């Protein structure tokens, strides 16, 4: 799967002698979720059309297809949320102050200040991991469900109660945290956040 920037983009930057441009987390989240939707559609098509594997019954194949379909629907919903979230950046916005996404209740004033993810959100994520017994990974959906019970602002003017998987991904991206396809302790394979990445974002070494 192609990632951006890849080695060709890095080579171009070096060749031209320019500095790499800073990513907009909202745009990165859009790209990641769009790629995820495409990947899930391809996996679902393969699962539906491929002959059953040896030892796999119709019930198991149906369950696998259902899981993929649910993941695809969830990813499609995340993409719709990202596409419908207004980005207030205009040509008049300062070039050195990249804008974050603005909710429907915001106006152009939100361009005057970049709303970065807060350490409080990372601490809240750490608390969720601890409550679950510090597993090696937590599904994005499970993490969002737990965070939505908290009061206060998570970041980018979004309350914890308003978090979605797409919004959480956008808030955590600047900290180097992205979801990965991970097999969880309960056997589910889901888009998940790894404890290792969270500890790195918090600046904590895992001595265990």
At 4 the pLDDT is 64
- As a whole number of angstroms, the distance between CA 23 and CA 150 comes to 29
**Residue 135: Cβ within 10 Å count:** 16
Tokens read off for 176: 């180097």
pLDDT range class, residue 118, cuts 50, 70, 90: low
- 121, with CB counted inside 10 A (0-12, 13-18, 19+), is buried
Q: What per-residue confidence (pLDDT) applies to 117?
A: 43
The mean per-residue pLDDT over the stretch 87-92 comes to 45
Q: In this model, does residue 113 exceed pLDDT 50?
A: no
The Cα 177–Cα 74 span in angstroms is 20
Query: pLDDT class for 166, splitting at 50, 70, 90?
Result: confident
Name the pTM for this structure.
Answer: 0.54
How many angstroms separate the CA atoms of 34 and 40, rounded?
10
User: So where are the chain's domains?
Assistant: 22-49+59-87+114-202
Q: Is 194 helix (H, G, I), strand (E, B) or coil?
A: strand
3-state secondary structure of 2: coil
- More confident position, 171 or 20: 171
Is the per-residue pLDDT at 106 higher than 50?
no
Beta strands in 10-141 (DSSP E): 86-87, 101-102, 137-139
What pLDDT score was predicted for residue 92?
Answer: 37
Q: What is the pLDDT of residue 138?
A: 94
Could you read off the pLDDT of 40-69 as tens digits, one per residue? Answer: 899 889 888 888 776 777 787 788 888 888
């Amino acid at each position: 799967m192609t990632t951006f920037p890849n080695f060709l983009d890095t080579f171009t930057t070096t060749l031209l002698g320019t500095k790499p441009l800073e990513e907009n987390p909202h745009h990165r989240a859009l790209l990641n979720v769009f790629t995820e939707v495409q990947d899930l559609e391809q996996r679902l098509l393969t699962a539906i059309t491929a002959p059953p594997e040896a030892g796999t019954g119709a019930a198991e194949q149906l369950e696998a297809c259902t899981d993929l379909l649910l993941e695809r629907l969830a990813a499609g919903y995340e993409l719709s949320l990202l596409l419908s979230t207004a980005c207030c950046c205009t040509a008049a916005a300062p070039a050195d102050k990249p804008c974050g996404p603005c909710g429907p209740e915001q106006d152009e004033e939100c361009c005057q200040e970049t709303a970065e993810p807060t350490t409080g959100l990372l601490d809240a994520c750490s608390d969720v991991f601890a409550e679950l017994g510090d597993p090696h990974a937590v599904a994005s959906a499970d993490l969002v469900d737990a965070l939505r019970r908290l009061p206060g602002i998570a970041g980018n003017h979004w309350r914890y109660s308003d978090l979605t998987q797409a919004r959480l991904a956008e808030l955590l991206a600047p900290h180097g945290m992205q979801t990965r396809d991970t097999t969880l302790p309960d056997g589910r394979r889901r888009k998940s956040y790894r404890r290792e990445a969270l500890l790195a974002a918090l600046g904590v070494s895992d001595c265990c």
